[in-house]
Amino acid sequence: MTWTLKHPMTSFKLIPRAVALAVTTLVALSAQAASVQVLVTDADGKPVVDTVVLIEPAIKPLLKPAAAPVVIAQENLRFAPFLTVVPAGSTLRFLNRDSYDHHVRSVPSGPLGSMPAVKSFEMRLDAAESAPAPSGRVSEYGDDKPAPARTKKTGSSQADIKVETAGPIGLGCHLHASMRGQVYVTDTPWFAKTDENGIARIDNVPEGAAQLVLWHPDQLQDQPAQPVQVSAEALKATGKLNFVPRKRRGA
For residue 135, what pLDDT is reported? 52
Where do the domains of the chain lie, and which CATH numbers do they carry? 34-62+188-251 (2.60.40.1120), 64-187 (2.60.40.420)
Q: Say if CB 2 and CB 17 are below 8 A apart.
A: no
What b/e string do you get for 33-55 counting C-beta neighbours within 10 Å, with b at 16 or more? Answer: ebebbbbbbbeeeeebbbbbbbb
Tens of each residue's pLDDT in the chain, 251 residues? 444 434 444 443 444 444 444 444 444 444 578 999 999 999 999 999 999 999 999 888 899 999 999 999 999 999 999 999 999 999 999 999 999 899 999 999 998 899 999 999 999 999 987 655 555 444 433 444 444 545 445 568 999 999 999 999 999 998 888 899 999 999 999 999 999 999 999 999 999 999 999 999 999 999 999 999 999 899 999 999 999 999 876 55
Q: Cα 167 to the chain's mean position, in Å?
A: 9
Q: What is the pLDDT of residue 143?
A: 42
What are the strands, taking DSSP E only, across the chain? 3-6, 11-14, 33-41, 52-57, 70-75, 78-80, 83-87, 90-96, 102-107, 122-125, 158-163, 167-172, 180-186, 191-193, 199-206, 208-215, 226-230, 235-240
Write down the pTM of the prediction. 0.79
Q: pLDDT digit string (tens) for 185-232? A: 999 999 999 999 999 999 999 999 999 999 999 999 999 999 999 998
